[in-house]
Amino acid sequence: MLGIVVLFISIAVVGYLVGLYNQLVRVRAAIKLAWSNINVLLAQRHDELPKLIELCKQYMQFERDTLERVMRARNSVDTARSNGDMASVSSAERELRSGLSGLYAVVEHYPELKANENFGHVQARISALETAIADRREVYNDAANANNVRIQSFPELLVARLGNFPLAEMLNFSTDESRDVDVKALFAS
Q: Give the residue from 103, 126, 155 showing the smallest Cα distance to 48.
A: 126
Range of the domain at 53: 2-187
* pLDDT averaged per 10 residues in sequence order, the chain, 189 residues: 88 91 91 86 80 70 70 82 77 79 74 70 80 84 90 88 87 57 45
**Cα–Cα distance for residue pair 32/56, rounded to 1 Å:** 36
How far from 53 is each of 21, 25, 57, 126, CA to CA, in Å? Answer: 48, 42, 6, 12
Q: What pLDDT score was predicted for residue 15?
A: 92
Contact 183, 127 (CB under 8 A): yes
Q: CATH no. for residue 8? A: 1.20.1440.20
Q: What is the per-residue pLDDT for 157?
A: 86
| Count of structural domains within the chain | 1
Task: Compute the C-alpha angle 106/182/38, nearest 5°.
Answer: 105
What pLDDT shows up at residue 36?
Answer: 85
Verdict on whether the full-model pTM lies above 0.85: no
